[in-house]
Structure 1
């Protein structure tokens, strides 16, 4: 995940492939499904969104046939919900709005049934995570008003994840950027940095936003200057 955040997709894919080989050697379907969920995100970020949807769908079918799922319904809920959510994101990026909506509906239903956010096999899923990811999808679809409305209903701390809390604010920063609210963009970026500085420093979209803020402001204030220096986008 750290390699992917840094844009090193080659080594990130190598790490995922090795993890998948290990999961297959162990022969545990939940482990395989978890790695495939990560690979779905990787494919989406590389621009292979249709392949991501296909992989997630195949993995969901595998889970449905897995007899051990009945013995571990919480893990099944988390992984099945995450896979449907990632598939929805990939479908949205592939331009298939109808498929994205259908997958998102299934994921939302699973999140509502779970009631709380849980982590299983390095995957986090639940109502709060669902909303945070939905905000990101709204932003990807250039629907900033929907993104900010959804964000107003979310307490990101309930996700129980540093990365989700950070990306909640990064999604908001992008939404405010679309709305032309530079002050809110900076507030959101600073909030994200306070939660997970390393994530923000290497996030390419956040770096682009900081560059845009510097271009918009003839005299960057101390907060913006400090953030830009930290992210190495200002000499």
Structure 2
């Protein structure tokens, strides 16, 4: 998906051998520099990478994208009907990140800033629809169980069924409860981070999470679903 985003950009034999050696050394130096830069990027915080991007570092943006693309896409997949809609909102969110990069300041965590934009896209989508959206189960390709070479087909089938059952139960939650639970699951945010993202009180978020988990367990027990929470 990164490819679809538009990033702004802030003669003798002896001579031939010498030229080839120079080119080889240049390539080795370039590759070595690339590896060092990639290693440094891996160690930088999201906020530092975003600041780097505002200064024209394209690699910094690519690193941010790779870190957050799957959780962000799943955030939308859990709350809208259909993968096409989720991908559209996903793309719009990254475009907002790009457009808003000039005014970015490290006043909050990057994830809080990112998911606040994503939430605004989701709210706009709900308003256009004029109704609550349902959770998509069919298009959930990014949350596959970890592959086990020793797994039997029956075990793999049970894992897939359990995953689908869990998402069915998640879909039954009230939207406000599902929202905070999805943020917790997909982004790994703290209660305070979620509160800042949705601009609500931390105690209210904590209460919604508690009720969401209780309701989820109740649904699973009532339906006799074998899903471990």
Task: Judge same fold: TM > 0.5, yes or no.
Answer: no
Higher relative contact order (CA 8 A, sep 6+): 2
Q: Classify the TM-score, shorter chain.
A: under 0.3
More helix by share: 1
Larger Rg: 2
